[in-house]
Chain A
Amino acid sequence: MSNQSQPLIRMENIVKEFPGVRALGGMTFDVHKGEIHCLVGENGAGKSTLMKILSGAYTPTSGTIYVEGQPYQTLDPELSQQLGIEIVYQENDLVPNMNAVENVFVGKELAKPLGIIDKKGMLRRVRESMREFDISIDPQQKIEDMSVSDQQFVKILKALMNQSKLLILDEPTSMFNVEDAGRVLNLVRTISARGIGIIYISHFLEEVVQIADRITVIRDGEVVRTYDNSKRDVPLSALTLDMVGRPVDTFYQRERFAPGEEKVLEVRKLKLEKHSPPISFSLKRGEILGMFGMVGSGRTEIVRALSGADRFYAGEILLNGKKLHISSPRDAIDAGIAHITEDRQRLGLNLGSSVLENGLMVKLQYMKPSPLYDFKTYAKLVSPVMEGLNVKTPSLMQEVVNLSGGNQQKVVLGKWLISDAQVFVFDEPTRGIDVNAKAEFYRHMTELAKAGKSIIMVSSEMPELISMSDRVLVVREGAVYCELSGGQINEQNIIKLALGVISHD
């Protein structure tokens, strides 16, 4: 390899396996000095795994990482930093009670003798960098008082102070309005012009085509294609086609039946915050209504408002034509709305308690108070439901922490079946459970719908969404962007709408 074409970073045949899952299946990927290489793919396509390998958080199962020609089997966080690899994470990674200058220098403070910090010196260095990269923030403002976009600039600034050669940006604009996003894009261009290589991960394809030198699409842990975007002309439709496009026969085949005509749940002009867009939709008896959106689109927030987990600002929620007053989870439960959360271990279950106790967690509030915990009566109530769901547990007294993910999720569902809920809101119903357990869970969900219950299913797994939903709502920027039904429900339509690539007509 000649020196001129030697990439800054080259990942060759990187495989990463977790127990039971192949997250990356032989990925090859490189970045040159001063190049902006964008990575796009669905949620869970393997972008963050790839990133964690570069940051040294994960050890690849096989494959080689070349940093300026030097081969490495694995990196660790310290080595990765020494090699000049810096990652700007999506989640907040700053000290909230310190100002920008201090955050930039955490752990690397400039100091005068006796360990007295050199505030002026640090401020000067930050100002120099701000000038070099054309960043305008108030360096002495506390992080917690800053806007989200200014916080993002602080994170980038911090990464740049470490003489970095490769900067990895994970969804740097996902929380921003157009103007702020533009500021970030300009900054990224300035940084690359200084010879720093950039891996840019984003859901916003228009943005990607605007700034990328090359674009790589990944799907299910494999590179689908790498585009040369030096002319900024890669068509968005080509990208979305590559992001999806799974063979249809891999999808679960659910029993199909027409949902009832009557509207069970109606959401009218629901506004989560004062300035958020109004949301309206309805749910019929026996219907499975899918809800899709990219990470940060606001889909979880919508269902959290429905279930009373968060309060909303304005709007109406009607159940069977009657207006509900939901200001706490208890209100929603009283009305018969069940919320199967996306985080069953933390929010859905009491892990140290038994199947029996978890199964009764909701129902018990509605039973005649008894002075003692009446195991026999309770077991009669819980046992048939858990058996009906085929929960694999040695006994009802087993602590749920010992059950598999699939069985834990069934216990959560069982809890709501016991409490006679009418509307079931599933948030990522099969996250982290294996393929067979998934199929079984889908069967239970279908049966639920067949029995006349209504289901809202928030999911970022495209196959799940397409195979299960009667209708699909696409959520984007906090609003229900459009509704798909019947033959309109396919991967390409959904991804394009969720990414805002085409407008719906």
Chain B
Amino acid sequence: MTKGRRILKDQRLLLLIIIVVLSATVGIINPRFVRLNNIMAILQQISVLGVLTMAMSMLLISGGIDLSIGNMMTLSGVVVATLLMRGANLLVAVLAGMGVSTLCGLLNGVIIAKSRTMPLIITLGTGQMFNGISLLIAGGSFLQFENKLNFLRTVKLFDFLPLMVIVMLAIVVLMYVLLNKTRFGRRIVAIGGNERNAYLSGIKVDLYKILTYGISGAIVSVAGLIFAARLNAITANAGAGYELDALVAAVIGGVTFDGGRGTVLGAFLGCLLTGIISNALDILGVDAYVKIVITGAIIVGAVVLSNIEKLRRRT
């Protein structure tokens, strides 16, 4: 393989180049784009998606998928908001939200591992359940909790880096360590890469799958907190659709559907790219509807590009 093709094959490098070129171009057209406060705005905008992308990437790499995480995030947010509105302690509320979301993840994991059914369909179903439960708790109303989560936005490190961005970056680092440095992580990568081999090598495949979905649930609740903090309120339907955005970001980042493949850094860069494109189109004053078309086209382009290696057809 030539060096050029090797670079093309490494999604991370490719993404980095695209991001730099894109940023430079937009920055020349409109210097406002590369100012520190705009960069921070982009990072804040992607902080919810960034966290969700980490959960989704972990699941994809382990050979799974979870389409309920959008509604799962809302449910945990609704639980936190409801408790805060009733005067509960902040820590209690956060832990309760995390607990609920972890249970949701474990539920998905148990059903998928034990029934051997397709995670895609199962999590579509459980996602509806979570959405229904959110509606039962919140009804159709706005849950407002008097700025109790504002600290995620207002507390800033060195006066410019908001806490929610720090939390997102921390989750990215944690996920990197989990998947690359820990025994647990390497085992779920092995399961995603070749489940039969993992089973024959003595790995308790079902247990690991269940735990993976559980951990994903816990991470999703973090996204729920940031989500609620950014809006300063939450409704029962607010998070629907986020699971697909996370899926797209992960796939743009080089994570594949067939498992075992993909990197945490790549997935994060994929997420960052979607954020940059969205922000750049705003700054360039592109019409909102045109923006949707362009965003869709860029997703398609990125995925086609990442599949160039596999174009030769064999039955």
Contacts and interface: CB of A to CB of B under 8 A. Distances in A.
A115 B200 contact: no
B261 A106 contact: no
Interface in B140-188: 181-184, 186-187
B189 interface: yes
A109 B202 CA distance: 11
A233 B219 CA distance: 66
A106 B187 contact: yes
A109 to B, nearest CB: 5
A116 interface: yes
Contacts of B189: 95, 97-98
Contact of B183 (A77, A117, A310, A347): A117
A341 to B, nearest CB: 9
B32 interface: no
A114 B194 CA distance: 25
Contacts of A109: 183, 186-187
Contact of A106 (B181, B182, B201, B314): B201
Contacts of B114: none
A159 B81 CA distance: 54
B194 A96 contact: yes
B202 A81 contact: yes
A93 B194 contact: yes
B197 interface: yes
Nearest to A114: B182
Given A106-B203, A107-B203, A117-B186, A94 B194 contact: yes
Interface in B175-227: 181-184, 186-187, 189-190, 193-194, 196-198, 200-203
B164 to A, nearest CB: 27
A309 interface: yes
A107 B194 contact: no
Contact of B190 (A81, A106, A329): A106
B64 interface: no
A77 B190 contact: no
A98 B314 CA distance: 25
Given A107-B198, A108-B201, A98 B181 contact: no
A309 B314 CA distance: 7
A93 B187 CA distance: 15
Contacts of B181: 116-117
Given A98-B190, A106-B190, A93 B202 contact: no
A357 interface: no
A97 B197 CA distance: 13
A248 interface: no
B186 A102 contact: yes
A109 B181 CA distance: 11
Tell me what chain B mostly uses at the interface: helix, strand, loop, or mixed. Answer: helix
A464 to B, nearest CB: 25
Interface residues of A, number: 23
Contacts of A78: 202
A52 B202 CA distance: 17
Nearest to B182: A115
Contact of B197 (A106, A116, A347): A106
Nearest to A77: B200
A502 interface: no
Contact of B260 (A95, A114, A117): A95
A417 B273 CA distance: 55
A107 B202 contact: yes
A193 interface: no
Given A97-B189, A115-B183, A117-B182, A108 B197 contact: no
A83 interface: no
A95 B197 contact: yes
A79 interface: no
Interface in A406-440: none
B89 interface: no
Contacts of A324: none
A106 B193 CA distance: 11
A94 B197 contact: yes
B115 interface: no
Contacts of A397: none
Given A107-B202, A108-B201, A98 B196 contact: no
A309 B313 CA distance: 9
Interface string A60-89: 000000000000000001100100000000
Interface in B283-311: none
A295 interface: no
Given A95-B198, A95-B260, 5 more contacts: A98-B190, A102-B190, A106-B197, A106-B198, A116-B183
18 contacts: A77-B200, A93-B197, A95-B189, A96-B193, A97-B189, A98-B186, A98-B190, A106-B190, A106-B203, A107-B198, A109-B186, A109-B187, A115-B182, A117-B181, A117-B182, A117-B183, A309-B314, A310-B314
Interface of B: 181-184, 186-187, 189-190, 193-194, 196-198, 200-203, 260-261, 314-315
Interface of A: 77-78, 81, 93-98, 102, 106-109, 111, 114-117, 309-310, 329, 347
